[in-house]
């Protein structure tokens, strides 16, 4: 997300123009004190064990190595900084394309998280073909206007602009296979998508830079969102009817960086292929298809 050579968290402060170093508060200093004390104890323990193992003739060579290795490992883990883990299966080394589903509950809201693996995203008009074995996930993307059944908000498909509206500030662009999710009244990514044969659509913003975005709509419904969490893109769906606020708050609590809404409600359509290549339909109550019904689709493929 960020190109700076110094990464930063939302709770960090850094002085610009001087050597980069996060400011330490009293709380941090206390934490460091404990860390230093813990490290000192570990070093002393290492020294003691090393000394006693050297002097204990009864301990065999193998035992000595195992004992020391164990201590070194625990020492290393104590100083390795915490790395935010991805939600999806990171151990999957196969090139198989599928969608991983994770069920979780946040703030008493049951959520399903869908993570497409080894797949690239694009937009398409009309319902995707369920017999197309290359599709691993699809869900309705931009809304359709009630008055003329056309797409709400700016919309670009493979470089071709189909709609230009700005009624919703959330946006998603797919340019050179890179998905960008954000919130802005005007986004140059719309033009870039037209220049680079990319894709662009608008929706309600839910989370902007890890901060909840309030929307006027207050009713409760099944909610879907397209999310970016530390660069990992996935879809989240509520399994109960929720307000925009509660759903967005759950996404913030899931550590999502940016999220926009996807067409939700009981009539929202979509389906995915699981790891066994079985089709799982996400549509609760399907209505007739509209001409400009549009989807975000993940197809098998390798990201650049």
Partner 1 sequence: MKKHIIISKGTELLRIPADMLMYVSSDGNYSNIVTVDNRTRLVTLQLGQVEDILQEQLADADCNFLRLGRSLIINTNYVYFIDISKQELIISNCLNSYHILSASREVLTKLKAYIETSIKR
Interface with partner 1 by CB under 8 A: which residues?
1-6, 8-18, 20, 23, 25-26, 171, 180-184, 186-189, 209-211, 257-258
Q: Are 174 and 121 in contact (CB under 8 A)?
A: yes
Q: Judged by CB, which is closer to partner 1: 131, or 185?
A: 185
Least distance between partner 1 and beta carbon 19 (Å): 10
Write out the H or E segment, with its range, that includes residue 193: helix 189-195
Report d(CA 160, CA 125) in Å as an integer. 12
Least distance between partner 1 and beta carbon 181 (Å): 8
Least distance between partner 1 and beta carbon 5 (Å): 7
155 phi, psi to nearest 5 deg: -150, 130
Least distance between partner 1 and beta carbon 4 (Å): 3
Q: Judged by CB, which is closer to partner 1: 111, or 213?
A: 213
Report d(CA 49, CA 71) in Å as an integer. 9
Q: Judged by CB, which is closer to partner 1: 183, or 249?
A: 183
The DSSP result for 24-90, as a single string, is P-HHHHHHHHHHHHHHHHHHHHHHHHHHHHHH-TTS-HHHHHHHHHHHHHHHHHHHSPP-PPPSS-T
Instruction: Say if residue 273 is exposed, middle or buried (CB neighbours under 10 Å; 0-12, 13-18, 19+).
Output: buried
Q: Judged by CB, which is closer to partner 1: 122, or 191?
A: 191
Least distance between partner 1 and beta carbon 189 (Å): 7
Q: Judged by CB, which is closer to partner 1: 83, or 93?
A: 83
């Amino acid at each position: 997300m960020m190109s700076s050579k110094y990464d930063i968290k939302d709770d960090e402060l850094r002085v610009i123009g001087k050597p980069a170093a996060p400011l330490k508060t009293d709380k941090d200093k206390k934490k460091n004190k404990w860390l230093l004390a813990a490290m000192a104890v570990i070093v002393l323990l290492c020294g003691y064990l090393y000394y006693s193992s050297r002097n204990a003739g009864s301990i065999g060579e193998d035992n000595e190595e195992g004992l020391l290795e164990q201590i070194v490992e625990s020492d290393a883990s104590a100083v390795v900084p915490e790395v935010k883990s991805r939600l999806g299966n990171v151990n999957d080394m196969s090139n198989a394309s599928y969608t991983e589903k994770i069920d979780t509950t946040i703030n008493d809201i049951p959520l399903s998280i869908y993570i497409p693996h080894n797949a690239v995203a694009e937009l398409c008009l009309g319902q995707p073909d369920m017999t197309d074995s290359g599709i691993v996930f699809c869900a309705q993307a931009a809304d359709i206007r009630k008055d003329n059944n056309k797409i709400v908000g700016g919309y670009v498909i493979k470089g071709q602009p189909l709609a230009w509206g700005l009624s919703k500030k959330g946006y998603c662009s797919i340019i050179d296979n890179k998905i960008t999710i954000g919130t802005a009244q005007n986004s140059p990514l719309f033009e870039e998508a037209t220049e680079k044969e990319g894709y662009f659509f608008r929706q309600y913003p839910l989370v902007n830079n890890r901060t909840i975005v309030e929307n006027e709509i207050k009713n409760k419904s099944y909610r879907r969102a397209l999310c970016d969490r530390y660069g990992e893109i996935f879809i989240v769906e509520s399994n109960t009817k929720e307000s925009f606020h509660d759903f967005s708050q759950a996404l913030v609590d899931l550590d999502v960086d940016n999220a926009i809404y996807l067409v939700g409600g009981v009539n929202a359509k979509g389906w995915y292929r699981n790891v066994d290549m079985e089709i799982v339909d996400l549509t609760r109550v399907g209505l007739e298809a509209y001409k400009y019904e549009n989807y975000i689709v993940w197809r098998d493929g390798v990201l650049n």
